[in-house]
Amino acid sequence: MKIFESKDGINYIRRGQMIPTETVVNMPDFHLIENRKAIGTLIESKGLTEWSFSLSANDVVYGLGQNMRGLNKRGFVYESFCSDDPNHTPDKRSLYGAHNFFVVLGEENWGLYIDFAGKVTYDIGFEDKNQLKITIEGVDFDAYVFKGTFESITKQFRALIGPSYVPPKWAFGYQQSRWSYEDATVVKEIADRFDSEDIPCDAIYLDIDYMERFKDFTISDERFPEFKSFVKDLKARDLKLVPIIDAGVKVEEGYSVYEEGVEKHYFVTDDKGKPFSAAVWPGKVHFPDFLNADVREWFGNAYHEMLEMGIEGFWNDMNEPAIFYSEKGLNEAIAFVSAQAGQNLDIYTFFTLKDKIMGLSNALSDYKAMWHRMTTRSGELKVNHYDVHNLYGYNMTRAAAEGFKRFDSDRRFFMLTRASHIGMAKHSGIWTGDNHSWWEHLKLNVQMMPSLSMAGFLYSGADTGGFGGNVSAELMVRWMQFSTFTPLLRNHSAMGTRRQEPWQFDQATLKIIRDQIRMRYALVPYLYAEFMKANQDQTLLFAPLAYAYGDSRSLLVEDQVLFGEGLMLAPVIEQNALGRYVYLPEDMVLWKASSVENLNQESFVKMEHGDHYLPLAINESAVFIRKNHLLVLTEPRNRVSKLSYDHLTVIGYVEDEATYDLYDDDGVTNQFEKGIHHKTRLTVVRVGETYRLSVDTTVTTLGNIELYIIDKNGKTHHLKQEKGVL
Ligand code: MIG
């Protein structure tokens, strides 16, 4: 095993010549280290690589980005293989993303990133509790091994892959979606209802219903007549529309995207070199070959027409790619079924028949029958889809992101995608796909956010309330309480399920949800600052407790997470629970957050290190402020653009001194990349029996600041600082 080392101690292992993923953008200088003892046990056989490591009894394994199960991944098998599977049940091994980065903490701390385009399987102490066995479906790959603390390992990894995608600031507002907002009238009704109910909202989504027969980049004239002025009218009210784009291009004579794609050989081909035919929503489709640079440019430019109409962002769907059936697969299945007609089927044949039909979607045999003309630095490479499967959605979204750059290089555009690879984190955010209105999926959401942060997917969130199935008022409320902190806060649901816009519930629930969304808006400056700093400093936005606390209990906490530099969240994730147990690794201040309107000295309670049972009424969620940290709120408004620094509230748990840097910028351009931003440094210092705030700021519109500072005895000091005093 040839091992290289960088000056900050990253070990780099190169096996053969990997298919480029363009994930690592900041490659440090590496030098070969001679006679270095191997890392783990690596065996190549039959085109596969098996790489094993031993785990100590108390090691925990965090990471793998978007995947099933708990924060600590030990005890199951996982795959990196982008999968369109809307049933996220515990037996599943993969979801929509392929994120090959994990960290082992325990006897020795180390992290591993496998830079590879194909399938990787991780048996993390499943077959053998003390073994971590990785199977890479190939022999050509790069790998990076990190050592250090949890924080330094994740920082080094994030530095390697470069900064994450940054959306426009309005993307931190509340977003409403549903598959079945079928026409402009319905969408306008939704918009009006938010305003008449006095519920903040910044964006409404257009799902596949807006297109003409599910054709990408078309807009149904019948259902969305005068689309351009519709977009303009909503924008005048400061509401954004976010249309969906699917990976498959409908096969239809006269449809320009299809015709141009065929003419220029832009589609993924089959074994015979013909465009590969599959069926998704539009019926028969071809898949653009996003691994080819010309195709990316062509597809990326196709977004421009809607950008010209005033659209500011999109969501890319079905880009694993999802295949309902392929022509070949369907023909074979039909032939098999027909051959059984009139027969007295034995049970095994019956099951085979059933599997033939059930197995039509997302069949590996289809992926293996698809071919790309991949652009690489050394020319065009003919590659089988299976070997680059995890790069497909990534490159679809890269096509869009590069298209946006060509449209306006200084503007930020909104972008979400479903399938992803770590290399994509620089181009777009992700939503976590088709979850269900199940309490288990609220928990999964809580547990997934830290591993997404580790993988660089800072702008992310789940379908709040759940996509499939019917949500109860209680689950909706509890989910909103958690999603209040996720950068993407989107309520989305599937056609045919119970409606879940805020007003679809009883009046009491409506009020709780309104208060909760208002709280979110009050938090936006703080959330945005935490987001931007996490991106610049390569820190985790969401983290397991072990990120900041070294005690052995913290390593095992599965249902509490750290948010940013100063908070710990302990969401209620169980039906009928009116409270929960919570573990405090040190003394903290609890805010039973229910609304930002009636804060007073009684709103904050200091709690001691250790275990507690915490009563939490349905409208209350547990937000903990860590020692010597500050939390900043502003006054809520109904749009992100209306938020200001006119009146800030600073809540802090301060023994002697705490400092907070409230980052801000214009929220719409990329000027921040050049370091152009506002900084407001808030410092709270104890002076005898009271506290003093000092403010160092470049913001000219800073107004009065109200403070709730909790001291080490648990006493709340309520202070006000007038503008003039600053
Ligand atoms: O086969 O466009 O994950 O968010 O609403 C389902 C319809 C296709 C899957 C996406 C979901 C979206 C839905 N899509």
Give me the pLDDT at residue 721, please: 87
Between the two ends of the chain, the Cα-to-Cα distance in Å is 61
Q: Is 57 exposed, middle or buried (0-12, 13-18, 19+ CB in 10 A)?
A: exposed
Asked if 441 and 88 count as a contact pair (C-beta separation under 8 A), the reply is yes
Q: How far is the CA of 466 from the centre of ligand 1 (A)?
A: 12
Q: How far is the CA of 317 from the centre of ligand 1 (A)?
A: 7
Of the listed ranges 637-646, 686-695, 717-726, the least confidently predicted one is 717-726
Q: How far is the CA of 468 from the centre of ligand 1 (A)?
A: 10
Q: What DSSP state is assigned to residue 718?
A: E
Q: Looking at residues 193-197, what average pLDDT do you find?
A: 98
Distance, in Å, from the CA atom of 146 to the CA atom of 102, rounded to the nearest integer, reads 10
Give me the pLDDT at residue 726, please: 45
Q: Looking at residues 139-167, what average pLDDT do you find?
A: 98
Candidates 609, 620, 550, 552; CA nearest to 585 is 609
Residue of minimum CA distance from atom 12 in ligand 1: 179
CB neighbour list of residue 691: distance below 8 Å, 6 or more residues apart: 654, 684, 685, 707, 709, 711, 717, 719
Q: Which helix (H) or strand (E) holds 660?
A: strand 657-664
Give me the pLDDT at residue 723, please: 65
Query: If you write DSSP's letter for every residue of 143-212 in order, what string do you get?
Result: EEEEES-HHHHHHHHHHHH-PPP---GGGGSEEE--TT--SHHHHHHHHHHHHHTT----EEEE-GGGSS
pLDDT in tens, 502-530: 999 999 999 999 999 999 999 999 999 99
Residue 579: strand pairing partners: 615
Task: Supply 532's token pair.
Answer: 């931007």
- Mutation test residue for ligand 1: of 244, 320, 361, 437, the one with most atoms within 8 Å of CB: 244
Residues 472-476: contacts with CB within 8 Å, 24+ apart?
A: 472/437, 472/575, 473/505, 473/506, 473/509, 474/575, 474/576, 474/618, 475/437, 475/439, 475/442, 475/575, 476/500, 476/505, 476/509, 476/513
Query: If you write DSSP's letter for every residue of 315-329 in order, what string do you get?
Result: EEESTTT--SEEHHH
| Contact 214 CB / ligand 1 (< 6 Å) | no
Distance, in Å, from the CA atom of 436 to the CA atom of 572, rounded to the nearest integer, reads 17
Residue of minimum CA distance from atom 8 in ligand 1: 318
Catalytic residues, by residue number, are: 317, 320, 434
Distance, in Å, from the CA atom of 450 to the CA atom of 351, rounded to the nearest integer, reads 41
**Relative to the CA of 418, which ligand 1 atom is closest?**
3
Q: Looking at residues 337-357, what average pLDDT do you find?
A: 94
| Contact 3 CB / ligand 1 (< 6 Å) | no
- Mutation test residue for ligand 1: of 211, 317, 491, the one with most atoms within 8 Å of CB: 317
| Contact 208 CB / ligand 1 (< 6 Å) | yes
Distance, in Å, from the CA atom of 525 to the CA atom of 663, rounded to the nearest integer, reads 8
pLDDT in tens, 398-454: 999 999 999 999 999 999 999 999 999 999 999 999 999 999 999 999 999 999 999
- Mutation test residue for ligand 1: of 182, 206, 207, 493, the one with most atoms within 8 Å of CB: 207
Q: How far is the CA of 5 from the centre of ligand 1 (A)?
A: 44
In angstroms, what CA-CA distances link 506 with 196, 512, 578?
17, 10, 19
Q: How far is the CA of 562 from the centre of ligand 1 (A)?
A: 31
Helix ranges (H only) for 340-384 are: 347-358, 364-367
| Contact 433 CB / ligand 1 (< 6 Å) | yes
Give me the pLDDT at residue 654, please: 98
**Relative to the CA of 433, which ligand 1 atom is closest?**
3
**Relative to the CA of 246, which ligand 1 atom is closest?**
2
Candidates 103, 115, 114, 112; CA nearest to 149 is 103
Strands 414-417 and 313-317 turn out to be parallel
* Other C-beta atoms lying within 10 Å of the C-beta of residue 637: 16
Q: For the sheet containing 542-543, what is the strand order? A: 542-543, 561-563, 567-570, 621-626, 588-593, 604-607
Q: How far is the CA of 339 from the centre of ligand 1 (A)?
A: 35
pLDDT in tens, 114-130: 999 999 999 999 999 99
| DSSP three-state, residue 675 | coil
**Relative to the CA of 463, which ligand 1 atom is closest?**
4
Say whether the peptide bond before residue 288 is cis (omega within 30 degrees of 0).
no
What would be the CATH architecture of the domain defined by 2-161?
A: Sandwich (2.60)
**Relative to the CA of 179, which ligand 1 atom is closest?**
5
Which of 418-447 are b and which e, b meaning 16 or more Cβ less than 10 Å from the residue's Cβ? Answer: bbbbbbbbbbbbbbbbbbbbbbebbbbbbb
Q: How far is the CA of 318 from the centre of ligand 1 (A)?
A: 7
Q: Has residue 615 got a pLDDT over 80?
A: yes
Candidates 81, 111, 3, 98; CA nearest to 425 is 98
Q: Looking at residues 165-174, what average pLDDT do you find?
A: 98
Q: How far is the CA of 495 from the centre of ligand 1 (A)?
A: 9
Distance, in Å, from the CA atom of 687 to the CA atom of 672, rounded to the nearest integer, reads 36
The mean of the pLDDT values for the chain is: 97
Task: Supply 688's token pair.
Answer: 């005898």
Q: Has residue 690 got a pLDDT over 60?
A: yes
Q: Has residue 724 got a pLDDT over 50?
A: no
Distance, in Å, from the CA atom of 173 to the CA atom of 711, rounded to the nearest integer, reads 33
The domain 528-721 is classified under which CATH number: 2.60.40.4040, 1.10.630.10, 1.10.760.10, 2.70.240.10? 2.60.40.4040
**Relative to the CA of 315, which ligand 1 atom is closest?**
4
In angstroms, what CA-CA distances link 514 with 170, 320, 460, 519, 638?
18, 36, 22, 9, 11
The reply to whether domains 2-161 and 528-721 share a CATH topology is yes
Domain boundaries, the chain: 2-161, 528-721
Task: Supply 463's token pair.
Answer: 């379908």
| Contact 418 CB / ligand 1 (< 6 Å) | yes
Distance, in Å, from the CA atom of 346 to the CA atom of 696, rounded to the nearest integer, reads 80
Distance, in Å, from the CA atom of 282 to the CA atom of 719, rounded to the nearest integer, reads 61
Give me the pLDDT at residue 415, please: 98
Could you tell me what percent of the chain has a pLDDT over 90?
98
| DSSP three-state, residue 63 | strand
Alpha-carbon radius of gyration of the chain: 26
Residue type, 90: P
Distance, in Å, from the CA atom of 599 to the CA atom of 601, rounded to the nearest integer, reads 7
| DSSP three-state, residue 567 | strand
Give me the pLDDT at residue 1, please: 83
Q: Looking at residues 241-266, what average pLDDT do you find?
A: 98
CB neighbour list of residue 629: distance below 8 Å, 6 or more residues apart: 565, 566, 567, 652, 653, 658, 660
| Contact 320 CB / ligand 1 (< 6 Å) | no
Q: Has residue 691 got a pLDDT over 50?
A: yes
Q: Is 379 exposed, middle or buried (0-12, 13-18, 19+ CB in 10 A)?
A: exposed
| Contact 317 CB / ligand 1 (< 6 Å) | yes
* Other C-beta atoms lying within 10 Å of the C-beta of residue 148: 17
Q: Has residue 657 got a pLDDT over 70?
A: yes
Q: What value, to the nearest 5°, has the Cα angle with vertex 154 and ends 563 and 466? A: 45
**What is the CA 444 to chain-centroid distance, rounded?**
13
